[in-house]
Amino acid sequence: MERKTLYNVAVVGATGAVGQKMLETLEKRNFPVGEFRPLASARSAGQQVTFKGKSYTIQEAVPEAFEGIDFALFSAGGSISEKLASAAVERGAVVIDNTSAFRMLPEVPLVVPEVNAHMISQHRGIIANPNCSTIQMMAALKPIYDAYGIERIIVSTYQAVSGAGQAAIEELREQSRQILDGVPIEPKILPVKSQPKHYQIAFNAIPQIDVFEENGFSREEMKMVNETRKILGDESIHVTATCVRIPVFYGHSESVYVETRKPFDLAEVRSLLESAEGVKLVDDLQEQQYPMASDAADQYDTYVGRLRRDLFHPRGLNMWIVSDNILKGAALNAVQIAELMVKSK
Amino acid sequence: MERKTLYNVAVVGATGAVGQKMLETLEKRNFPVGEFRPLASARSAGQQVTFKGKSYTIQEAVPEAFEGIDFALFSAGGSISEKLASAAVERGAVVIDNTSAFRMLPEVPLVVPEVNAHMISQHRGIIANPNCSTIQMMAALKPIYDAYGIERIIVSTYQAVSGAGQAAIEELREQSRQILDGVPIEPKILPVKSQPKHYQIAFNAIPQIDVFEENGFSREEMKMVNETRKILGDESIHVTATCVRIPVFYGHSESVYVETRKPFDLAEVRSLLESAEGVKLVDDLQEQQYPMASDAADQYDTYVGRLRRDLFHPRGLNMWIVSDNILKGAALNAVQIAELMVKSK
């Protein structure tokens, strides 16, 4: 792709929770969009979306729909990415894929711009957006990794329902009201729509995100393990994750325990985080200041707080990391990757 | 206290979330109650409570109110316990105290019946009920501790609002409805009623339970550290805790990472938990079976699942522990202590 003034952009999955935010983010950040082309599965084609005050009819995502496109942002599920990403690449587009379809392929860069922007130059047409819960953890841990190294991470997540899409948002809303009204509920979406059992999410915590693997970890938990190691380019980091869905609409929270390689100074960690790109330190216990999903929702930054040294391990650090899972965890990170590519031309 | 057929029981804080469950539990478990005497602060005195189908007028908790009482169950806040427990003991009562007032005093046994029942014989009038989040973790970890030893625990909690009392339950209910209706909210209770700032709990996660200490941990987190070591009688155990309030009414969930001292066999851990008193193993990933607050609420047991070995640490074990914080975490544990005392006579 040569340097241009404007770039033709396709968004695949334009009606989804993430797709909608991609449109909003491209607009808000003034991405130099030439032609805008919203795409979706046959089921959603024909619907209208609004971009920069103009209404667009969604076209069906077929190979030919990528003709003339510079950037194709995919967020319509792994199977659609698998089916169509190469068609987009063949037609000259750079694919920025928000699904897990290509993330672990060695030839596909897995990029959080604040962490490993240098990887984008190695792309062969596809750049993968990491999983939401990984992105925010990486944004917060990168300065610590650079200064001290990281030996291990033990993370427990508190994840918003929007990570499971628009239907999960609706389910939480409706179910909450039913429970408050004393009306029987009928869970249909969470924890995993395609699995046989569905459970109450309102006023509950479900320790399942995505399906389970043979080793007893969920696929979401394994994403945090594998993607962390790939993004930091360091296979020596040990990660254990427990991923939990809680009744929050937007904003994942994470309780992260890190053991650094070199000893750290807590005041220095604070100042590293204060000056880190895309990170906001919110950590004043006297003033009861700490990150919360309610504050992080609709914001671009990753919020970090509750920083404290393990009382027993000299290189143990506790922290609380919160970010909007649909923005930094998905749509914003994808747009930032596109911005980086434009800048690097 | 000599062996009797019936015991006179006072419940201090009979109108509270825990006090109410104490009444219910004494009744349900057929505790041999002779005279029943509900007590509370002057503010609540005069109110009516029902016990075994009979209505009782709550008397003010003053020293004389403990005359003739065998068991005094305190759950009306630390300052009331501090003021009145010795008056009850002087009058011959055994105090079972649900507050944190005496828990860490060396002469006060801190008891989870399934874990350290033998400690009750050492009491000098007061037996302390541990903190809710500690009790359920101890019930689940005891069989593992006995079999392999425990080197360290890293725990992140997902705690129900009922732990902050009746007013917090009301706040979550009202605030949830307001947010669903798009009405402005006015937080007044959570995270800590007596502190200056209050935050949204509905559709949010608040990483503060109780006030913060100088070391950056909250008092709730330090309870998990200190009480664990005292209950297991093992000061060599390293504990790091992150305590978080989430929008659940009843049932604390905990993501617990344990490093044992000796290597463990996962199948053996399962069978130990299956036969452990007060514990139910719910761990069948194929059937999407794992513990959830929605199932644990109103139940006596501590539910354990998501058992899996750390992929990188040979003695690292992940687990998910859920129990009703007002029952096993408070009222039930207190009544079980009283039952133990009756049996041991």
Q: Domain with A205 in it: what CATH number? A: 3.30.360.10
Query: What residue of A is the nearest CA neighbor of B306?
Result: A216
- A39-54 pLDDT tens trace: 999 999 999 999 999 9
With contacts defined as CB-CB under 8 Å, which chain A residues touch B287? 197
Taking residue A147's Cβ as centre, other Cβ atoms within 10 Å add up to 14
Taking residue B99's Cβ as centre, other Cβ atoms within 10 Å add up to 22
Let me know whether B31 and B93 are in one domain. yes
Is A203 in Cβ contact with B288 (below 8 Å)?
A: no
Name the CA dihedral angle for A117, A119, A123, A127, rounded to a multiple of 10 degrees.
-50
Is B154 in Cβ contact with A306 (below 8 Å)?
A: no
* Amino acid present at A176: S
% of chain A at pLDDT higher than 90: 97
Considering CB atoms only, which of A173, A240, A286 is closest to B318? A240
Let me know whether A190 and A269 are in one domain. yes
Let me know whether A111 and A159 are in one domain. no
Residue B291 lies inside a defined structural domain of this protein? yes
Let me know whether A289 and A168 are in one domain. yes
Confirm or reject contact between A292 and chain B (CB < 8 A): yes
Let me know whether A149 and A102 are in one domain. no
* DSSP structural state of residue A174: H
Q: How does DSSP assign B27-41, residue by residue?
A: HHTT--EEEEEEEE-
Q: Which of B181, B242, B298 is the best substitution to test chain A (most A C-beta atoms within 10 A)?
A: B242
Let me know whether A183 and A50 are in one domain. no
Of B46, B38, B43, nearest to B65 (Cα)? B38
Confirm or reject contact between B137 and chain A (CB < 8 A): no
Q: Domain with B106 in it: what CATH number? A: 3.40.50.720
Of B328, B168, B324, nearest to B251 (Cα)? B324
Q: What does pLDDT average to in each consecutive run of 10 residues of chain B (345 residues)?
A: 89 95 98 97 93 97 98 96 98 97 98 97 97 98 98 98 97 98 98 98 98 98 98 98 98 98 98 98 98 98 98 98 98 98 89
Domain count, chain B: 2
Residue B2 lies inside a defined structural domain of this protein? no
Mean pLDDT for A2-16 is 93
Residue B320 lies inside a defined structural domain of this protein? yes
Let me know whether B176 and B289 are in one domain. yes
Residue A139 lies inside a defined structural domain of this protein? yes
Question: Nearest CA to CA, how far is B247 from chain A (Å)?
Answer: 5
Q: Would you call A241 helix, strand, or coil by DSSP?
A: strand
Residue B79 lies inside a defined structural domain of this protein? yes
Distance of CA A40 to the CA centre of its chain: 20
Angle between helices B266-274 and B132-148 (to 10 degrees): 120
Kindly report the CA angle at B113 between B108 and B119, in degrees rounded to 5?
35
Query: What residue of B is the nearest CA neighbor of A316?
Result: B240
Query: If contacts are CB pairs under 8 Å, which of residues 238-277 in chain B contact chain A?
Result: 238-240, 242, 244, 246-249, 253, 255, 257
Query: If contacts are CB pairs under 8 Å, which of residues 79-108 in chain A contact chain B?
Result: none
Of A269, A217, A264, A211, nearest to A240 (Cα)? A217
% of chain A at pLDDT higher than 70: 100
* Helix, strand, coil content of chain A in percent (nearest 5): 35, 25, 40
Let me know whether B92 and B196 are in one domain. no
Instruction: Compute the distance between CA of residue B23 and CA of residue A136 in angstroms, rounded to an integer.
Output: 46
pLDDT of residue B1: 66
Instruction: Compute the distance between CA of residue B284 and CA of residue B286 in angstroms, rounded to an integer.
Output: 6
Residue A150 lies inside a defined structural domain of this protein? yes
pTM attached to this predicted model: 0.97
Let me know whether B68 and B148 are in one domain. no
Taking residue A106's Cβ as centre, other Cβ atoms within 10 Å add up to 5
Let me know whether B168 and B236 are in one domain. yes
Is B311 in Cβ contact with A217 (below 8 Å)?
A: yes
- State the ipTM, two decimals: 0.97
Residue B1 lies inside a defined structural domain of this protein? no
Residue B177 to residues A108, A206, A337, B170: CA-CA distances in angstroms? Answer: 45, 22, 39, 11
Instruction: Compute the distance between CA of residue A84 and CA of residue A41 in angstroms, rounded to an integer.
Output: 11
**Burial of A64 per CB tally in 10 Å (0-12, 13-18, 19+):** exposed
Question: Nearest CA to CA, how far is B28 from chain A (Å)?
Answer: 25
Considering CB atoms only, which of A248, A257, A291 is closest to B203? A248
Cis before residue A113, ω within 30 degrees of 0? no
Let me know whether B101 and B160 are in one domain. no
With contacts defined as CB-CB under 8 Å, which chain A residues touch B225? 311
Let me know whether B155 and B119 are in one domain. no
Angle between helices B17-28 and B332-343 (to 10 degrees): 40
* Helix, strand, coil content of chain B in percent (nearest 5): 35, 25, 40
When pLDDT is cut at 50, 70 and 90, the band that residue A114 belongs to is very high
Residues A342 and A32 sit within 8 Å (Cβ to Cβ): yes
Confirm or reject contact between A225 and chain B (CB < 8 A): yes
Q: What residues of B act catalytically?
A: 132, 252
pLDDT of residue A4: 87
With contacts defined as CB-CB under 8 Å, which chain A residues touch B313? 152, 238, 240
Considering CB atoms only, which of B172, B217, B320 is closest to A308? B217
Query: What residue of A is the nearest CA neighbor of B213?
Result: A285
Is A308 in Cβ contact with B248 (below 8 Å)?
A: no
| Residues of the domain holding A73 | 7-130+330-343
Instruction: Compute the distance between CA of residue A22 and CA of residue A19 in angstroms, rounded to an integer.
Output: 5
Question: Mean pLDDT score of chain A, rounded to an integer?
Answer: 97
With contacts defined as CB-CB under 8 Å, which chain B residues touch A254? none
Q: Does A132 qualify as catalytic in the annotation?
A: yes
Q: Which of A183, A238, A242 is the best substitution to test chain B (most B C-beta atoms within 10 A)?
A: A242
Q: What are phi and psi of B300, to 5 degrees?
A: -85, -30
- A222-280 pLDDT tens trace: 999 999 999 999 999 999 999 999 999 999 999 999 999 999 999 999 999 999 999 99
pLDDT of residue A1: 66
Confirm or reject contact between B166 and chain A (CB < 8 A): no
Residue B92 lies inside a defined structural domain of this protein? yes
Reply yes or no on whether the pLDDT at A218 is more than 70. yes
pLDDT of residue B344: 86
